[in-house]
């Protein structure tokens, strides 16, 4: 069995790691991968750029610095997840991707032939889910070729 477990370092994703470990132990999984996806799109409206403003080299350097920071944070989150599995004597590999989180998780799950994607729920409900969206909800709806377990 191949298990893909998603993490963003939140409490919900830590619960997903725990559930994935239980599944991996129970079925003697041969491939466990931990994925973290950092969004390559920054909220540019939060930057001091107005309409018609051409970013300077200094602006672009700040943009690159923020992307590098996101990548480093992602690596740290993955290392923590890998350490969690090592403590349970489960071999797990890490996958760090840049892109839209839900789309990238589904793409990796499909392309690498995972049997199950384990992802934490953020516990959103009602209007929050409608307006804010949810990575876990999108993964459930977009995944066509493998099962998705949403952990609360």
- pLDDT tens, residue by residue, 7-39: 999 999 999 999 999 999 999 899 999 999 997
Res. 95: pLDDT tops 50? yes
Give the torsion through C-alpha atoms of 56, 59, 64, 68, to 10 deg: 170
| DSSP per-residue string spanning 7-72 | --SSHHHHHHHHHHHHHHHHHT-SEEEEEEEE-S---GGGSS--TTPPPPHHHHHHHHHHHHHHHH
pLDDT digits 0-9 by tens, 35-75: 999 976 655 555 566 666 777 888 788 888 888 999 999 99
Domains of the chain, earliest start first: 2-151 (3.40.50.620)
User: For residues 17 and 36, is the Cβ–Cβ distance under 8 A?
Assistant: no
What is the three-class DSSP state of 150?
strand
* Higher-confidence position of 53 and 110: 110
Mean pLDDT of the chain: 87
């Amino acid at each position: 069995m191949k298990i893909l477990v998603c993490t963003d370092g939140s409490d919900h994703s830590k619960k997903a790691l725990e559930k994935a470990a239980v599944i991996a132990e129970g079925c003697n999984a041969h491939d466990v991968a931990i994925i973290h996806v950092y969004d390559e799109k920054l909220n540019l409206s939060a930057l001091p750029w107005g309409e018609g403003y051409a970013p300077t080299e200094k602006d672009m350097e700040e943009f690159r610095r923020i992307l590098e920071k996101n990548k480093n944070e992602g690596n740290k989150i993955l290392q923590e997840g890998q350490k969690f599995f090592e403590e349970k004597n489960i071999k797990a590999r890490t996958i760090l991707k840049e892109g839209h989180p839900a789309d990238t998780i589904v793409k990796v799950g499909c392309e690498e032939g995972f049997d199950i994607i384990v992802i934490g729920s953020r516990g959103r409900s009602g209007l929050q889910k409608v307006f804010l969206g949810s990575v876990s909800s999108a993964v459930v709806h977009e995944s066509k070729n493998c099962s998705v377990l949403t952990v609360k």
